[in-house]
Amino acid sequence: MPTPSQPILELRVALTVHDYERSVKFYCDGLGIEPAAIWNNSGGQALMLEMGKATFEVFDEAQAETIDQLEAGKRISGQIRFALQVPDLKMAMERLLAHGGTLIHPPVTTPWGDYNVRLQDPDGMQITLFQVVDKAEPEK
């Protein structure tokens, strides 16, 4: 039940794609997750993927420029960009690339210490994968 301090219970993002089967393979196989729900009806097809905790970020143009410069070297993302925290950035990046993703920019370490890489899905959606680097871990 929503409360005044937590009025939203869940964030869902609905992505409309040109090639449904290709996108299902990209997101399910590429991220290594199973659908939580599948809808096949006379009106079309859809699936739901549970992706852990959700947040919603709102950037002004200057902040979007800053993040794009860090992750892609230039202002490139559209109005919406996904950012997915993963436990192993290299493995997640390789899986998505093997399933039709396009590398926009090689991985970078951000000023706040995360390890980020910018990719694009087969329909052109910009995706940032990020790995939070454990500050307690000694550098290798």
Write down the domain spans for the chain.
20-131
Task: State the pLDDT at residue 9.
Answer: 81
Q: What six digits make up the tokens of 101?
A: 């993703």
* Nearest-angstrom CA–CA distance, 113 and 133: 6
- What's this model's pTM, rounded to 2 decimal places? 0.86
70-81 confidence digits (pLDDT tens): 999 999 999 999
Task: State the pLDDT at residue 140.
Answer: 45
Strand (E) or helix (H) holding 109 = strand 102-109
Q: Which CATH number is 20-131 given?
A: 3.10.180.10
Tens-binned pLDDT, residue by residue, of the chain (140 aa): 667 787 888 889 999 999 999 999 999 999 999 999 999 988 899 999 999 999 989 999 999 999 999 999 999 999 999 999 999 999 999 999 999 999 999 999 999 999 999 999 999 999 999 999 876 554 44
